[in-house]
Chain A
Amino acid sequence: MHHMLHIKNGIVIDPKNGVKAEKMDIFVKDGKIVEEGEISKNEAKVIDASNKLVVAGGVDMHAHIAGSKINTGRTMRPEEMRVVRLIANKFRTAVGRVLLTSPAIGYEYAKMGYTSAFEAAQPPIGALHTHEELDSIPMVDKAALPVFGNWHFVLKYVAEKDMEKLKAFIAWAIERTKGFGVKVVNPGGVEAWMYGGNVSSLDDQVPGFNVTPREIITSLVKATEELQLNHSVHLHCNRLGVPGNYETTVESIKLVDGIKNDSRQVLHVTHVQFNAYAGDSWRTVASGAEAIAKTVNAMDNVTIDMGQPIFGHATAMTGDAPFQFTLHRLTGSRWSNKDSEIEGGAGIVPIAYLPKNPVHALQWAIGLELGLLTDSDKVVLTTDYPNGGPFTEYPYIMAMLMSKKMREGELERVSPFVQKASNLPAIDVEKSLEEVIHMTRSLPARVLGLPNKGHLGVGADADIAIYDLNPLEVDTSNDFEKIYKAFKTAVYTIKDGNILVKDGEMVDEYWGKTYWVDARGKADMEAIKDDLNEFFSKYYTVELQNYGVEERWLKKPERIVI
């Protein structure tokens, strides 16, 4: 292990710091990027990065990589687990086709040059399970977003319009779950599912509570902003997977019009592809991507991520339990459901995206439309792993965004339905390499509120990826195969200054940190004490004193106090 590195002669792209493909050296000491003068040249290990692209390690801000959902997926799908990636030797055995084991998740991210990954939906009462799995994922830094939008405490405080209690509850819940931010999944709709229903608009009444999805979203955004959490509300919109849902998405985005935050968005809308359908049935379905992209582009406080489907196998797993049942009815496939105390629910259903299936092809096109039509400073590249498919195909999406020629080739093998139902064939936009680097590094880091991630400025974490690609020479419009290949396996992946991957092969195993946010100092924690006692004695099946996760149970916790 070297505590000093000198990465020499690489071509650096570092969007956050305005570095556009410049030949420069990067210096690393004690896990951080430092000034040249900080290291002693004869002690530092030199990495020759001549003619290679040097960027910050990738940041996956939305994936389902740990906890009861993915683990039920694995249990349900032994056919997924039969793909052998690595035989046990120096490293653990790693298996999985799209659903991967925890070691495989860490290894695959590292091989691809990714160094941070966020679990996007942590069931609060299952938080300890999520953390156990995160602690079994090697190589990357990680964190988890607990789910709030159907939790009875939230519904009660929103109904009572009690912002102080709502803030205290969020701070309490994030601390108890050792979570990172506020995830909201189909607000109100999952509670309706407990009665066999769902919500169909932002103004439906949630059964049992005098609230609407609109009120839940706006209250949570307000509370999150008052608490000044690192990350904004992270919203999985209502009506996911329903033709015509793009209108609800646009409406949801506009809810935050006028709310300001100097350092980041105030609302992140996730895997938007699944919420970007026009039309009123699966027959008339069409892309609603353009309207959403326009709305996002016109606002300065909203970001989105793509949720790009990748043709092939996938497993749908979301906290949106009613949607998962609908999907099960649609496909006839296996279905797991998890109604969780008074906190919400989840579902898991296998799926495969087939290029010749008109709807699947349209979904694929919509994801790309969103990526192309939305400002590069507002759209993050994701597959909503494993809902849209594997994260290991991010390089495919990167290449597609940069090359119309590649898209034209791909359009030829998909259902012609795409030609009339989406705008993709007509889109000429080709993102630059810098933009795509931003969408996978500096942007997700900013969206999450992690100032030390996603860039190579002095003081940043020494999470670095080096790819076999010379940005000064590559023609991104035409060399898409080369681009894809280069981003698939890094020449070097460096995490906290440790070389984990060399020439696409893992050379070392490493355990990253788990970030969690402590906002208790920002709220009156006493305000919710009686409610906690009452709800736990009446509606929970565990004692309040035994609920939650203690920091000392985690492998490498990193507390962020705000």
Chain B
Amino acid sequence: MTKTFGDGMLEVEVITGRTLNQGATVEEKLTEEYFNAVNYAEINEEDFASLGLQEGDRVKVKTEFGEVVVFAKKGEVPKGVIFIPMGPYANMVTDPSTDGTGMPQFKGVKGTVEKTDENVLSVKELLEAI
């Protein structure tokens, strides 16, 4: 059901979650290691190709709730789904509404992804952007 827009933009569902590297650096948030552990999106191989991406390229992820630039990585996710490790990058685009449960919807937010030349912000720059 992945829709492709005119200039290489895909409609996707954004999911977030823990990773080993994110966990191992979570108590060192202001370091390069943490930055590298949470600043990317895993994209399905076919979607990756259709967006014309190469490893190291950057993508802009947009949802109703915000946008963020992250590095693009091929990952084992279904087509039409992208995975961003839990953390400040993912949270730029997650849905804050808890629908009365207290729990925001961290997984399964509809949005788009596209290739971009913009830079990935540092953790501090990200905070300023909020």
Check whether chain A touches chain B (CB < 8 angstroms).
no
B interface residue numbers (CB < 8 A to A): none
Interface set of A (CB-CB < 8 Å, partner B): none
